[in-house]
Homo-oligomer: A and B are copies of this chain.
Amino acid sequence: MAEMTKFWYLENFNLFKELNQESMKELGRITSMQEIAKNQPIYFPREPSSSLFFLKKGRVKLTRISGDGKEMILALVNMGEVFGEMAYLGEGERNEFATALDDCIVCAINKDEFKSFVEQNPELNLKMTRLIGLKLKRYSERIEGLVFKDAEQRVASFILKLADENGKKIGDEIFVKPFLKHQDIAELTATSRQTVNSILTDLRQKRVINFDRKKLIVMKRDELVKKIG
């Protein structure tokens, strides 16, 4: 299953890869590149969703805020991934915040222009559906985690996924460089900042991981896997 996910991931990354010269040129025409500084918003809830985005550089977080002001992170978007894709489906308004976690470069693609572009390149149809399907699968796993797992397991799964997706393997340790603050991890794993801290500290004390404000090192990947069960 992990393999399948990876397969899909690569396909997303290559959403436009098999396009011919002609189409790539056209794609360039309907695309506008934007630089977005760290911590700056890309879009807001209730804003009309007029375009979808392809993330060329940096990381983006998609968040929702509850009636009483609590924030949760719906998803992290990594380089090479697409976000704001509900625009493509005719969803009229954004229903989350998109915020740059680093200095980012994004390509904005107008939804209507993209729609006709897809019509002219019908091989993109299935790819777009798969892209949405991949997100669906991720969300279903997220739901499962929220229901079945306790705070420690959720944080452990998160670290594992982060390491596998964004880490560099050096020897049998995995380094993750631009780390997140504990508050962000809390918002991703539906727990509190304090609980995240105590779980991380505990894992560090057991020599499963090591970390400081900037980086995370997974030292015993299998211990994490064991913890999740």
Q: Which residues of A contact B (CB under 8 A)?
A: 1, 4, 64, 66-68, 70, 72, 74, 86, 88-93, 95-96, 115, 122, 125-126, 128-130, 132-133, 135-137, 139-140, 142-144, 146-148, 190, 229
Given contacts A143-B142, A143-B143, contact A129 B91 (CB under 8 A): no
Determine which of B1, B74, B122 lies in contact with A143 in the assembled complex, contact meaning CB atoms within 8 Å: B74
- Residues in B neighbouring A91, C-beta threshold 8 A: 4, 133, 137
Determine which of B72, B147, B148 lies in contact with A148 in the assembled complex, contact meaning CB atoms within 8 Å: B72
Q: Is there contact, CB below 8 Å, between B125 and A129?
A: yes
Whose C-beta in chain B lies nearest to the C-beta of A88?
A: B129
Which of A68, A95, A143 is packed against the most chain B CB atoms within 10 Å?
A: A143
Given contacts A66-B148, A72-B148, A148-B70, contact A139 B143 (CB under 8 A): yes
Q: Is there contact, CB below 8 Å, between A146 and B190?
A: yes
- Residues in B neighbouring A146, C-beta threshold 8 A: 143, 146-147, 190
- Residues in B neighbouring A90, C-beta threshold 8 A: 130
Roughly how many angstroms separate A115 CA and B190 CA in the complex, as a whole number?
Answer: 38
- Residues in B neighbouring A4, C-beta threshold 8 A: 91-92
Q: Is there contact, CB below 8 Å, between B148 and A86?
A: no
Determine which of B89, B136, B229 lies in contact with A130 in the assembled complex, contact meaning CB atoms within 8 Å: B89
